[in-house]
Structure 1
Amino acid sequence: MSTASSSAAEAAYTRLAREYLDWYLEANPTRATSLGFHQHDARLPDVSAAALARKSKALQDWLTRLDALDRAALAGDSAVDVRVLEYAIRADLAELEEQRPWENNPGFYVGLIASSLSNLSSREFAPVAERMHSLRSRMAHIPAVLGAAKANLRGVPKLWARLSHRDARGIASYLRGDLPRAMEAQGFARVDASEREAFTAAREEAAQHLESFATWLEQEVLPRADGDFRLGRERFEKKLALEEHVTLSADQLRDINERSIREYKAWVAREAAKVDPKKTPEQVMAELVKDHPTADQLIPTARAQLVELQRFVRERNILTLPSDRLPTVRETPPYARLGFASMDTPGPFETKATEAFYNITPAESGWTPEQRAQHLTYFNRAGLLGISVHEAIPGHFVQLLYESKIPTDVRKVFSPTSVVEGWAHYTEQMMVDEGLGDGDPRIRLGQLRRALQRHARWYAALALHVYGEPLEAVAKRYAEIAYFEPFPALREVERGTSNPTYLYYAVGRMQILKLREDYRRHLEAQGQPFVLKDFHDRFLRLGLPVSLARGVLIPGDTAPSLE
Structure 2
Amino acid sequence: MRTACLLALALASCEAFRGPDLGPVGRMPEETPADDRLLDSLAEACVAWRYSQDPGAATLDGIHEYDDVAPSASRGDIDARLAALQYHLRTLRAIDRTRLSPASRIDAGVLDAHLRGEILELDRIRPWESDPTWYCGRIGAALHSLAAFRFEPADRRMEHAARRLRGVGTLLHQARENLKNPARLRTETAIAQFEGLHRYVRRAMPAAFAEVLVPALDASARDGAAGLVRERERLRAWQDFMAARADALKGVEEFVDWMRKELLDRSNGPVALGAEIFAELLECREMVRTPVPELLKRGYDLLAETRRRIDSEALRTMGATRADGVLDEMRALLPVLRSFAADVVTLAPDPEISILDAPAFRGPGDLASSEISGNEAHLCVTTGDLPIRARLPLLVAAELWPGRCTQALRLRDVANRVRRSNGSRGFADGWAFYCEQLYVESASDRPEIAIAGLHSALVRIARGVAAIEIHGNGMTLDGAAALLEKEAFLDRPRAEREARIAALDPLIVAQILGREEFLRLRAAERARLGPKFSLKAFHDRLLSCGQPPLPALEEILGAGR
TM-score interval w.r.t. the shorter chain?
0.7 to 0.9
Confirm whether residue 394 of structure 1 aligns to residue 393 of structure 2: no
Q: Is the 8 Å Cα contact of residues 397 and 403 (structure 2) preserved in structure 1?
A: yes
**1:5-42 deviation per Cα after TM superposition (whole angstroms, max 9, x unaligned):** 97221222122222222222112222212222111111
* Contact map agreement 2:197 2:360 (CA 8 A) in 1: no
Matches within 5 A, 1:510-549: 510-523=516-529, 529-543=532-546, 544-549=548-553
Distance 1:542 1:36 in 2: 21
- Match for 2:292: what amino acid? A
After TM superposition, give the deviation of residue 233 of structure 1 in Å: 0.5
Q: Decide whether the 8 Å contact of 1:5 with 1:73 is kept in 2.
A: no
Of 538, 548, 556, the residue aligned with 1:552 is 556
Secondary structure at 2:106 match in 1 = helix
- Match among 110, 118, 124 for residue 136 of structure 2: 110
Match of 1:306 in 2: 334
Does the 8 Å contact 1:172/1:208 carry over to 2? no
Q: 1:327·1:397 contact (CA, 8 Å) conserved in 2?
A: no
Between stretches 298-307 and 499-508, larger displacement belongs to 298-307
Give SS of 2:544's match: helix
Give the structure 2 partner of residue 355 of structure 1.
376
Find the aligned partners of 1:11 and 1:163 in 2 and give their Cα distance.
45
User: CA–CA distance in 2 between the matches of 1:361 and 1:231?
Assistant: 28
1:476 — aligned with what?
Answer: 482
Give the distance between the partners of 2:358 and 2:293, measured in 1 at CA.
Answer: 42
Contact 1:331 / 1:362 at 8 angstroms: preserved in 2?
no
Q: Which residue of 2 aligns with 1:173?
A: 199
Deviations, residues 326-348 of structure 1 (Å, cap 9, x unaligned):
6534332665786775354424x
1:102-251 equivalent positions in 2, closer than 5 A: 102-184=128-210, 186-189=211-214, 192-251=234-293
- 1:275-332: CA deviation from partner (whole Å, max 9, x where unpaired): xxxxxx2x32111143x4x666544543342222333344xx4222344x36534332
Q: Is the 8 A contact 1:306 1:326 kept in 2?
A: no
Whether 1:460 aligns to 2:457 is no
SS at match of 2:344: coil
Asked whether 1:259 is paired with 2:301, we answer yes
Deviation per CA, 1:149-175: give whole Å up to 9, x if none.
111111221222222222223322322
The amino acid that maps onto 1:499 is D
RMSD: 2.5
What corresponds to 1:561 in structure 2?
A: none
Q: Distance in 1 between matches of 2:431 and 2:299?
A: 18
**CA offset at residue 495 of structure 1?**
2.2
> Per the alignment, do residues 284 and 250 of structure 1 end up closer, same or farther by CA in structure 2, a change over 3 Å counting?
same
Q: Secondary structure at the match of 1:501?
A: helix
SS at match of 1:502: helix
1:434-469 Cα shifts (integer Å, max 9, x gaps): x32x43222111000110111111111112112112
Runs of 5+ in structure 1 lacking a partner?
273-280, 364-374, 558-563
Cα drift, residue 90 of structure 1: 0.9
- Distance (Å, rounded) in 2 between the aligned partners of 1:226 and 1:337: 24
1:408 to 402, 409, 416: 416
Q: Partners in 1 of 2:411 and 2:489 — Cα distance? A: 35
1:512 Cα deviation (Å)?
0.8
Pairing 1:286–2:328 present:
no
In structure 2, the residue matched to 1:500 is: 506
Q: CA contact under 8 A between 2:463 and 2:484: conserved in structure 1? A: yes
TM-score, reference length from structure 2: 0.86
- One-letter amino acid matched to 1:546: L
Q: Which moved more, 1:515-524 or 1:245-254?
A: 515-524
Q: Is the 8 A contact 1:35 1:413 kept in 2?
A: no
Q: Give the secondary structure class of the aligned counterpart of 1:39.
A: helix
Q: Is the 8 A contact 1:519 1:553 kept in 2?
A: no
The CA deviation at 1:519 is 2.6
Describe the shift of the 1:510–1:254 C-alpha distance in structure 2 as closer, same or farther (beyond 3 A): same
Pairwise CA distance, 1:394: 1.2
For residue 31 of structure 1, the aligned residue among 57, 63, 77 is 57
| SS of residue in 1 equivalent to 2:66 | coil
Deviations 1:160-198 (A, max 9, x none): 2222222223322322222212222x5444571111111
8 Å contact 2:355–2:379 — kept in the other structure?
yes
Q: Residues 16 and 228 of structure 1: is their aligned pair in 2 closer, same or farther, counting only changes over 3 Å?
A: same
Deviation at 1:83, TM superposition (A): 2.1
The residue matched to 1:478 in structure 2 has which SS?
A: helix
Task: Judge conservation of contact 1:122–1:182 (CA < 8 Å) in 2.
Answer: yes
In structure 1, what residue type is equivalent to 2:425? Answer: T
Secondary structure, in 3 states, of the residue corresponding to 1:542? coil
In the TM superposition, what is the alpha-carbon distance from 1:108 to its structure 2 partner?
Answer: 1.6
CA distance in 1, matches of 2:266, 2:412: 50
**Alpha-carbon distance between aligned partners in 1 of 2:359 and 2:104, rounded to the nearest angstrom:** 43
Deviations 1:404-460 (A, max 9, x none): 322223322221111111011101112322x32x43222111000110111111111
Give distance in 2, aligned partners of 1:72 and 1:456.
Answer: 43
Q: Unaligned 5+ residue runs, structure 2?
A: 1-28, 216-230
Matched residue of 2:415: which SS?
A: coil
Q: Distance in 1 between matches of 2:522 and 2:372?
A: 29
Q: What is the distance in 2 between the residues matched to 1:136 and 1:327?
A: 26
